Amino acid sequence: MSGGQIWTQKLNRQFVHVTNVKSIDMLHQAPMHPWEWPSKPWSRIHIDYAGPLYGKMFLVCVDAHSKYLDVHVVNSATSTNTIEKLRTMFAIHGLPESIVSDNGTPFASQEFQDFVQRNGIKHIRSSPYQPSTNGLAERAVQTFKEGMKKVTEGSIETRMAKFLFTYRLTPHATTAIAPAEMLMGRRPRSLLDLTYPNINSRVQQKQQRQKQSHDKTAQVRNFNVGDSVYILSHNREAKWITGTLIKRTGPVSFVIELNDGRTVKRHQNQIRYKYDQYSDNRLPDISEIPDIPIPSVSNNQTDVEAVCDSNADSSDTNDNSKSVKKPSVATPKPTRTRKPPNRYGDFVYN
């Protein structure tokens, strides 16, 4: 013994033996047998506990199909707390077909076995002291711990929510699809969506501006089935003909039955009201309006008006208090006398 160290030949042989045994064990490991990938989400889930972390225990659950991660915080890792958190997850996603866990006390208890049997769930436990059997859950626990260390602001629940939000919307390395999108069948909205143009909102804004511009001069007309109306005709006999609304085919489209039994389709812009004969605002039928001749003004009527004006002037001559305004007589427009130009009159030729 020198310098606080001791070494013997027997100890050296024991060290060499242990090293050789470990090398032999590593060389004779069984080939990897990966879990079969489920064809549908939430059919097989892997669970495990992470902690103690920040004085709490965290139940980590990961879906084997979508790699969707769900974490719940508990004060202690007991069977009662585990069942309570699993009920919360099952209320959201439904019952899985199988659950994979290790041989920890919360999962090996009789209470937990009764819970999974009552719900028709197959419980698969990994081999003792072989955590790689439940490698998906072990890797999820490691990812959760690393993610929680990067989020430094807020309470435990706030930090956990921020981490899960980012993880679920990030494409997974195995599936190349976000876990939330694979589980839900849709991509949840995030702040990154604000950088992409919203086509639906843009089209709706354009349509709203077009509608406001068009409706400035538009008139609202409400038609009901059974109303008597005038419709625009495209023949040469009559421009407007009467009919009855029998069907609405769209917001502004109707089917009208004419008086002769034919049915036509017209837009609301091609339809006008036909008021009833007992209504105060009655409008007669187009065919019932008689042709009223318009009287023309003749020269005799002008002469009669002039005679009436002269009689009125003679009767008011003696009345000085009244002033009589004589009708103004239109004077002809003055014209100028036109003379032809005296060309070359100012010049004298010798």
Checking if the pLDDT of 100 tops 90, the result is yes
Taking the CA atoms of residue 121, residue 126, residue 131 and residue 134 in that order, the dihedral angle to the nearest 10 degrees is -30
What are the residues whose beta carbons fall under 8 Å from the beta carbon of 92, sequence distance 6 or more?
Answer: none
Look at the chain and count its residues: 350
**Residue 280 sits in which domain range?**
228-288
Domain presence at residue 12: no
Q: For residue 58, is pLDDT > 80?
A: yes
What CATH number should be reported for the domain holding residue 264?
2.30.30
Specify whether 182 is located in the same domain as 240. Answer: no
What does pTM read for this prediction?
A: 0.55
The domain that holds 181 is classified in CATH as 3.30.420.10
pLDDT digits (tens, 9 = 90+) for 137-148: 999 999 999 999
- Span 116-139, pLDDT tens digits: 999 999 999 998 888 888 899 999
- On whether both 49 and 170 belong to a single domain, the answer is yes
Walk across the sheet containing 228-232 and list its strands: 263-267, 253-258, 240-248, 228-232, 271-273
Q: In the prediction, which pLDDT does 312 show?
A: 46
Within-domain flag for 157: yes
Q: What total of structural domains would you count in the chain?
A: 2
Are residues 91 and 148 located together in one domain of the fold? Answer: yes
More confident residue, 280 or 124: 124
Question: What is the rounded distance in angstroms from the CA atom of residue 104 to the CA atom of residue 120?
Answer: 21
Greater model confidence, 307 or 172 = 172
Taking CA 145 as the corner, what is the angle to CA 144 and CA 150, rounded to the nearest 5 degrees?
Answer: 95
Q: What is the pLDDT of residues 16-25, one digit of tens each?
A: 555 555 554 5
Q: Is residue 178 domain-shared with residue 269, that is, in the same domain?
A: no
296-347 pLDDT tens trace: 555 554 454 444 454 444 444 444 444 555 556 667 777 777 777 776 666 5
Say if residue 286's pLDDT is above 80. no
